[in-house]
Amino acid sequence: MSALLGVMMSSIVVHPVQAAWFTEDYLDFGEFSAVTDDEQGKVEMHISCSLHYPDHVGITIFTGETYDPETSYADEVPISVIASDQQQPVAYGTFEERNGELVVVSDTFRDDILALVIGAMATSTSTIAVQFFTRDYRFSPDDLDTALVYLFESCT
């Protein structure tokens, strides 16, 4: 994680306009998140870290879809990210259920490529595209770099 922080701090890009990313602190759990909605306002993405696992980071995508326990979801979700108009290495996650909602979760415990993908997102100069299976979401890069610096300083 310290390598990711170094890359981010040495290549921070200033994004004008209003802040799309903000931070949430879950002090009772020792967790910190950078959060934003997609361009449609229907999907939420969290990039999180924990004091309990300071060398790891995770992404949770709240799809806005209802989780169906009768559906057979794929065991592995290939998460494709385009940042700065460049295809990033594919990271892998899983489908999970949170409060009745279908979410996609990935972290550096299961896929260390995720740190590289988050680093590319942090320095993106254009809309960040996140795709898996038939889903295609767009997120603003505005203030992600600042939110991630706060996040990683909080978790180390």
Predicted structure pTM score: 0.85
Q: In the CATH scheme, what architecture does the domain 2-155 have?
A: Sandwich (2.60)
Q: How far apart are CA 5 and CA 101, in angstroms?
A: 31
Residue 48 Cα distances to 12, 57, 107, angstroms: 19, 6, 9
Q: pLDDT band for 1, please (50, 70, 90 cuts).
A: low
Task: Give the mean pLDDT of 59-64.
Answer: 98
Q: pLDDT band for 156, please (50, 70, 90 cuts).
A: confident
Residue ranges of the domains in the chain?
2-155
Tell me the chain's radius of gyration from C-alpha atoms. Answer: 15
